[in-house]
Amino acid sequence: MAPADILPNTATALRDRDFEPGLSEWYCVDAANRHLETRSVERLAGGKDHRRRPDGSCGIAIMAKASAPGRTKTRLVPPLTFEQAAALNTAFLQDITGNLLLAGSHVAIANYVAFAPAGTEAFFHDTLPPGIGLIDACLPTLGDCLLRTLQEIFGRGHASAVVLNSDSPTLPTALLVETANMLAQPGERAVLGPSTDGGYYLLGLKTVYRRLFEDIIWGTERVAAQTLERARELKLDVHMLPPWYDVDDVEGLRRLHGELGSARPSEAKLDTRTPYYPVATATLLRSSTAGAWIANEPKSISQIPLGSA
């Protein structure tokens, strides 16, 4: 990813620059002068004090951007408008935090959002349920953001740390539980969840290794493969999760629609093959004609009259 200190001037530039495979929409427009520093936001969403938790739990942070037209889910424009894409970003964030909370009912997980741009805490306080910690991780490159987020999670006393994308609202809950359980076992290891686009949707560690974020060509289909190469250099065992997909383009949106068309909320036993049902996303799409457009006009670039979130 190019340094994120310049706000693109056109919709085309936005679509070209603010997407990475896997952890795809992470870039910060005001990071140029921060020089690899990040603030620890010691508050939970909702305004409560955040305390360190040296309890052996796994800290998982969603890499998220505050919803704003022209900054979030811009690769879906068109067919969406910038306002519609921002509403979808909010729905995704609500669903992914809900997925984390569900996973936390099965295994010891502490939930965080590593956010950008700086100064957008109010959006997350208003959007997230209580109990989600905030980490200000607005830095010049995606690798810097991921590294510092992991460092911050460990700094808050957790035994393991995970970074998670904000583009996969149907990621099976069982994969989050599997990640935390694998990291709780004895022995040094990483957990990697590869994305179908060649990036990764999740990376979990028991120790921070800077080398895992060096010499990576961010924004390409080689990100996961290069990360595995760095792990081999470190002689670090990697537990691989099944591939999953991101919703950061029209093809991903079409796949999401297909899943939602046949899925309903379920209390079934956790299964790595069973998608999480994203209630907020499903409600948003159902309140519009987006579903019909995806099914009947897969190559259209006309705007979808999407309902508000």
Of the candidate CATH numbers 3.50.50.60, 3.60.15.10, 3.30.300.30, 3.90.550.10, the domain formed by 11-296 belongs to: 3.90.550.10
Q: What is the pLDDT of residue 79?
A: 82
- The residue that leads in pLDDT, 41 or 106, is 106
Q: What is the pLDDT of residue 55?
A: 64
What residue segments make up the domains of the chain, in order of their start? 11-296
Give the chain's mean pLDDT.
Answer: 81
Instruction: State mean pLDDT over 73-95.
Output: 92
In this structure, is the dihedral angle defined by the CA atoms of residues 50, 154, 206 and 162, taken in order, positive or negative?
A: positive
pLDDT above 90: residue 111? yes
Instruction: State mean pLDDT over 126-133.
Output: 93
Share of residues in the chain with pLDDT > 90 (%): 63
pLDDT above 80: residue 31? no
pLDDT tens digits, 248-283: 999 999 899 888 877 777 665 688 889 999 999 999
pLDDT above 80: residue 42? no
Please write down the long-range contacts of 212-218, taking CB distance under 8 Å and 24 or more positions apart: 213/143, 213/144, 213/146, 213/147, 214/143, 216/143, 218/1, 218/20, 218/141, 218/142, 218/143
pLDDT above 50: residue 35? no
The residue behind tokens 């990813």 is 1
Q: What is the pLDDT of residue 238?
A: 98
The residue behind tokens 């200000």 is 136
SS3 call for 30: coil
Is residue 288 very low, low, confident or very high in pLDDT (cuts 50, 70, 90)? low
Q: What is the pLDDT of residue 23?
A: 63
pLDDT tens digits, 145-162: 999 999 999 999 999 999
Which among 145, 86, 150 is positioned nearest to 284, based on CA atoms?
86
Q: Render 249-292 in DSSP notation, one character per residue.
A: SHHHHHHHHHHHHH-----PPP-TTS----HHHHHHHHTSSHHH
CA–CA separation, 41 and 136 (whole Å):
6
DSSP state of 173: H
The residues, any chain, with a CB within 8 Å of residue 262's CB and separated by 6 or more, are none
pLDDT tens digits, 194-208: 999 999 999 999 999
- The residue that leads in pLDDT, 116 or 48, is 116
CA–CA separation, 174 and 103 (whole Å):
7
Contact status, residue 270 vs residue 173, Cβ threshold 8 Å: yes
pLDDT above 90: residue 91? yes
Q: What is the pLDDT of residue 5?
A: 26
Of the listed ranges 74-83, 123-132, 174-183, 223-232, the one predicted with least confidence = 74-83
